[in-house]
């Protein structure tokens, strides 16, 4: 029997995955201010009321009232059970679900230590670029490439000096540290025992994840040598299949230009930025995956791939086309730009400047044209069997397109090219009608109508769970005594979790309560919209706690006073009453009752 999944693993997992990505790959989301929206997959609707919040890592439908975390979403949408949902999230994040008896606590600590190590290693490489006696070569190299000091600093470029143990000596003082360096992919195990630095004599490019945290490095060789580019291996922090170099920095320009360029190397990204083209990203030594594209399409509807014009470039382009097809919902566009032989974006933009490069971009080949041009090269359209072959080649590709206008139009084009009977091809290949299975599968029932007016306890819980990072766990709750308010023990237990794990996010916090009767009410409190500015949330929380304390005192005073009219209070009760009445929270007017 599989053991219980440790809560700390779930905390860590929910801190690692992004609910926006999880949902977007199944239900395409559109950005709407700070949140993302779509037509709800759980009820029929024409205008989107299904909202996904990246900060809470939570979704909520204002139409039918469904809401929850990434785990809930997978359970409800993909009909998975809890464990299956966890497995799905974990495999997407490239981590293993620990079995019973593992040491989750340590694993969690090690992720935090690994993040810290990445920050320190990045500082180390940066410092070497400024101070190492041999850094002249790198600086000259960067200057030759036309990079200014500002751009070098902006992209936090660094230098891994020559030698086998620079980083190792600096950070690998003991076994635990060396283990961490190894886990982070910064050192390599020797066959004869011991370790050596992975990155030696290279220009270093820190790789940031979409939240701007350093998760790995790329190193480019300075002179001739192999490999030209070297990346961190897959680590608990770094997943090549989903990370894109430069995305964190390019986001703003991508929004502004409404277009994102995908280039092949990090030097291209930096060089383009130097020349004023700041909306580019690079994959990290892997082909472009569907995950990469889904991630980019969340920010923008138009992507342009830049490839070298050589054979390898053309092959890479075709693979990119194949990954792109399933992502092409209506409104999304992909273009291909092939560079002249022997050029890459770096050399080209340096040679011809920003304006000429932009002109090339605007003349990129749309994906549908590229697809049919390539297939026509492989077939002889003058022959009937040649046209049949075109249909055979195009069929599996077009079927990868999602239902929509683009797909129909692509089939129309195939019909024209192959001189087939109008309308016959798409019908012929798509025997089953488009699935409507997403509709109205489940409903939790709508949020309570009085959500705007919560009890102070509920409000305190809602603020604390929605803003776990505000420091609310440091507010003293000890004046709150046990009462028949069912929310108080819950407030205390949330605070306890936060005290042990101050970095936990809303979704992970919520998941602590999945198996308890508190889960449903808590989910509603996470969905509650409080309209308090984020700078004021902590103050509001404190005030709510004060209100609660005040109310408890008032209540207790009423009880004691009531009792004193019927019988004599014990000495202890009398003392308690006196103390309560002295506290300034007690509304003054009521003292007159004495």
CB of 297 to Zn ion, least distance (A): 23
Nearer to Zn ion, 53 or 552 (CB): 53
Q: Least Å distance between CB 73 and Zn ion?
A: 12
Nearest CB to Zn ion, comparing residues 17 and 40: 40
Least CB distance to Zn ion at residue 32 (A)? 15
Rounded to whole angstroms, the Cα distance separating 414 from 389 reads 11
CB of 526 to Zn ion, least distance (A): 16
Q: Rank residues 381 and 446 by Cβ distance to Zn ion and give the closer one.
A: 446
Burial of 453 (0-12, 13-18, 19+ CB in 10 A): exposed
The CA distance from 197 to 160, in Å, is 9
What's the rounded Cα separation, in Å, for the pair 394 and 427? Answer: 15
CB of 84 to Zn ion, least distance (A): 23
Q: Compute the distance between CA of residue 282 and CA of residue 209 in angstroms, rounded to an integer.
A: 13
* Helix pair angle (7-16, 104-131), 10° resolution: 40
Q: Closer to Zn ion by CB, 62 or 357: give it.
A: 62
CA angle, residues 408, 411, 417, in degrees to nearest 5: 145
What CA–CA distance (Å, rounded) separates 474 from 496? 10
Nearer to Zn ion among residue 67 and residue 514 (C-beta)? 67
What does the radius of gyration of the chain's CA atoms come to, in whole angstroms?
30
CB of 82 to Zn ion, least distance (A): 22
Closest to Zn ion by CB, 61 vs 465, is: 61
Please answer whether residues 251 and 239 qualify as being in contact, where contact means their C-beta atoms are separated by less than 8 angstroms: no
Provide, rounded to whole angstroms, the least separation between the CB of residue 71 and Zn ion. 18
Q: How far is the CB of 160 from Zn ion (least distance, A)?
A: 51
Minimum gap (Å) between residue 40 Cβ and Zn ion: 3
Taking the complex as a whole, the smallest distance from the CB of residue 333 to Zn ion amounts, in Å, to: 29
CB of 524 to Zn ion, least distance (A): 15
320 Cβ contact list (under 8 Å, min separation 6): 262, 287, 288, 305, 307, 336
Nearer to Zn ion, 437 or 478 (CB): 437
In sign, the C-alpha dihedral spanning 335, 339, 341, 347 is negative
Q: Minimum distance from CB of 76 to Zn ion (Å)?
A: 11
Q: Name the token pair of 458.
A: 């509920």
**475, 537 contact by CB (below 8 A):** no
| Dihedral class, residue 425 (left if φ above 0, else alpha if ψ from -120 to 50, else beta) | alpha
Closer CB to Zn ion, residue 266 or residue 528? 528
Complex with Zn ion: residue 42 or 297, whichever CB lies closer: 42
* Rounded-to-integer distance, Cα 144 and Cα 137, Å: 10
- Pairwise CA distance, residues 13 & 22, whole Å: 13
Nearer to Zn ion among residue 40 and residue 328 (C-beta): 40
Residue found under tokens 């860590």: 12
Shorter beta-carbon distance to Zn ion: residue 40 or 391: 40
Residue 383, helix vs strand vs coil: coil
Residue with smaller CB distance to Zn ion, 63 or 335 = 63
Shortest reach from residue 91's CB to Zn ion, in Å:
27
Q: Which is nearer to Zn ion, 42 or 245 (CB)?
A: 42
What's the per-residue H, E or C state across 532-546? CCHHHHHHHHHHHHH
Q: Show the 3-state SS of 391-429.
A: HHHHHHHHCCCCCCHHHHHHHHHHHHHHCCCCCHHHHHH
Question: Which 3 state secondary structure label does DSSP give 366?
Answer: strand
Q: How far is the CB of 372 from Zn ion (least distance, A)?
A: 39
Q: Where are the alpha helices (DSSP H) in 155-259?
A: 166-171, 175-183, 247-257
Shortest spacing between CB 301 and Zn ion, in angstroms: 24
The crossing angle, in degrees rounded to 10, of helices 82-93 and 7-16 is 50
Within 10 angstroms of residue 586's Cβ, the number of other Cβ atoms is 16
How would you label 338-359 residue by residue, b for 16+ Cβ within 10 Å and e otherwise?
A: bbeeebbbbbbbbeeeeeebee
Q: Applying CB under 5 A, which residues contact Zn ion?
A: 40, 42-43, 61, 63-64
Q: Which is nearer to Zn ion, 36 or 411 (CB)?
A: 36
Those residues with Cβ within 8 angstroms of residue 456's Cβ, 6 or more apart along the chain or in another chain: 544, 547, 548, 551
At what angle are helices 456-466 and 519-527 packed, to 10 degrees?
A: 70
Cβ closer to Zn ion: 63 or 206? 63
């Amino acid at each position: 029997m599989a053991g219980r999944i440790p809560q700390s693993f779930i905390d860590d997992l929910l801190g690692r995955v992004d609910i926006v990505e999880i949902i977007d790959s199944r239900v395409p989301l559109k950005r709407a201010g700070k949140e993302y929206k779509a037509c709800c997959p759980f009820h029929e609707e024409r205008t989107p009321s299904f909202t996904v919040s990246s900060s809470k890592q939570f979704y909520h439908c204002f139409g039918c009232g469904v809401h929850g975390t990434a785990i809930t979403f997978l359970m409800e949408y993909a009909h998975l059970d809890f464990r299956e949902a966890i497995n799905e999230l974990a495999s997407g994040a490239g981590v293993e679900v620990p079995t019973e008896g593992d040491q989750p606590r340590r694993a969690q600590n090690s992720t935090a230590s690994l993040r810290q190590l990445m920050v320190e290693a990045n500082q180390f490489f940066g410092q070497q670029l400024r101070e190492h006696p041999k850094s002249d070569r790198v600086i000259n190299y960067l200057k030759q490439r036309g990079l200014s000091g500002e751009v070098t600093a902006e992209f936090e470029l660094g230098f891994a000096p020559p030698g086998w143990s620079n980083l190792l000596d600096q950070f690998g003082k003991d076994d635990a540290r060396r283990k961490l360096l190894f886990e982070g992919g910064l050192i390599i195990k020797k066959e004869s025992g011991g370790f050596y630095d992975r990155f030696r004599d290279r220009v270093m490019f820190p790789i940031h994840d979409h939240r701007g945290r350093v998760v790995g490095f790329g190193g480019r060789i300075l002179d001739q040598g192999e490999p030209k580019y070297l990346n961190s291996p897959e680590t608990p922090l770094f997943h090549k299949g989903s990370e894109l170099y430069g995305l964190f920095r390019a986001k703003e320009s991508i929004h502004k230009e409404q277009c994102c360029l995908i280039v092949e190397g990090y030097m291209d990204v930096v060089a383009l930025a130097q020349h004023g083209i700041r909306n580019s990203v690079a994959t990290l030594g892997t082909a472009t995956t569907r995950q990469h594209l889904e991630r980019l399409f969340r920010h923008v509807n138009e992507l342009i791939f830049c490839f070298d014009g050589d054979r390898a470039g053309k092959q890479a382009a075709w693979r990119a086309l194949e990954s792109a097809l399933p992502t092409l919902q209506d409104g999304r566009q992909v273009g291909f730009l092939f560079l002249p032989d022997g050029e890459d974006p770096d050399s080209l933009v340096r040679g011809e400047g920003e304006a000429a490069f932009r002109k090339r971009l605007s003349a990129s080949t749309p994906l549908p044209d590229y697809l049919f041009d390539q297939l026509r090269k492989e077939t002889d359209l003058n022959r009937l069997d040649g046209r049949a072959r075109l249909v055979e080649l195009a069929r599996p590709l077009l079927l990868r397109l999602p239902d929509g206008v683009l797909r129909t139009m692509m089939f129309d084009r195939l019909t024209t090219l192959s001189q087939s009977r109008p309308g016959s091809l798409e019908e012929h290949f798509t025997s089953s009608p488009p699935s409507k299975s997403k509709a109205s599968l489940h409903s939790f029932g709508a949020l309570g109508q009085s959500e705007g007016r919560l009890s102070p306890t509920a409000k305190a819980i809602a603020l604390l769970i929605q803003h776990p990072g505000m420091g609310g766990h440091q507010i003293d709750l000890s004046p709150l005594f046990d009462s028949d308010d069912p929310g108080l023990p819950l407030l205390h237990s949330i605070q306890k979790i936060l005290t042990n794990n101050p970095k936990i996010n809303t979704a992970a916090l919520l998941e602590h309560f999945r198996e308890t009767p508190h889960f449903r009410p808590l989910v509603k409190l996470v969905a509650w919209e409080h309209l308090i500015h984020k700078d004021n949330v902590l103050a509001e929380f404190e005030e709510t706690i004060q209100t609660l304390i005040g109310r408890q005192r008032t209540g207790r005073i009423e009880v004691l006073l009531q009792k004193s009219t019927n019988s004599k209070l014990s000495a202890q009760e009398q003392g308690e009453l006196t103390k309560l009445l002295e506290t300034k929270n007690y509304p003054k007017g009521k003292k007159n009752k004495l």
